[in-house]
Amino acid sequence: MKTIRVVTLLVLIIRLFGGVLTRMVCLRQTDFKSLVAYSSVGHISFVLVGLLSNTLWGFIGAILVIVGHGLCSSGLFALVNTFYTRRHSRLLTINKGYLILSPCVGLLCFLLAVGNIASPPTLNLLGELFIYMVGASINIFFFPLLMSLRFLRACYSLYIYVSSQHGKCTNSLSSRGDFSIRDISLLSFHWLPLNFLFLVIP
């Protein structure tokens, strides 16, 4: 039994350290799609802590985080697709100035970015609070690693928002800056359940 516990702790430490490295890689990405994809890997670190804790709170936290991650990451992928269809490029250096072209899309980009940070009242925050408690109960040294993951996620989430919404857009981008109701609805339907689904959790 003690051997199993040691192996579990070793797996969790390696996984959390891998999550920190993955999120540091996110800060060096120049491709929107790669950035969102790598950020998805970092989210799974929280899920693994909850599942391997073998506690009810850990399982609940893991489920909430993975559902919130599914809504938030798919919303960010949809956002990247709307950028790509207008500029035919996923590079951060080319996709700039969308806040001027469409303040509504800029707002939704901000809301999805802060949802990715696990700000209230998202499902991510509720799930992560459970996992923080479980992680600290397993080993107090997990807490700094979990907080490092959260800090780095805040950095690259704001990096996504600032890179895409601020800056000077090119003339070719300005001519294709119209966003349809379908695009705005698609992004909204990712954000709404992410923030209000917790109301129906028993």
* Per-residue tokens: 195: 């923030």
Angle at CA of residue 72, ends 173 and 129, nearest 5°: 140
Going by pLDDT thresholds of 50, 70 and 90, the confidence category of residue 201 is: low
Spatial contact of 182 and 85, defined as CB atoms under 8 Å apart: no
Give tens-digit pLDDT for 149-159. Answer: 888 888 888 88
Residues recorded for the chain: 202
Is the pLDDT at 23 greater than 70, yes or no? yes
Residue 29 has pLDDT above 70, yes or no: yes
CA distance linking residue 129 with residue 57, whole number of Å: 10
β-bridge mates for residue 92, sequence order: none
Cα distance between residue 109 and residue 160, in whole Å: 9
The pair of three-digit structure tokens given for residue 86, joined into one six-digit string: 């207008």
Q: Is 36:159 a contact under the CB 8 Å cutoff?
A: no
Beta partners for residue 91, in sequence order: 31
Q: State both tokens at 140.
A: 């107090």
What is the model's pLDDT at position 174?
Answer: 47
pLDDT at 175: 44
| Cβ contact 82:101 at 8 Å | no
This prediction has a pTM of 0.84
pLDDT tens-digit series, residues 159-190: 889 888 887 766 554 444 567 788 888 899 99
Confidence class of residue 77 from pLDDT cuts 50, 70 and 90? very high
Q: CA 155, CA 24: separation in Å to the nearest integer?
A: 9
User: Cβ distance 45 to 36 under 8 Å?
Assistant: no
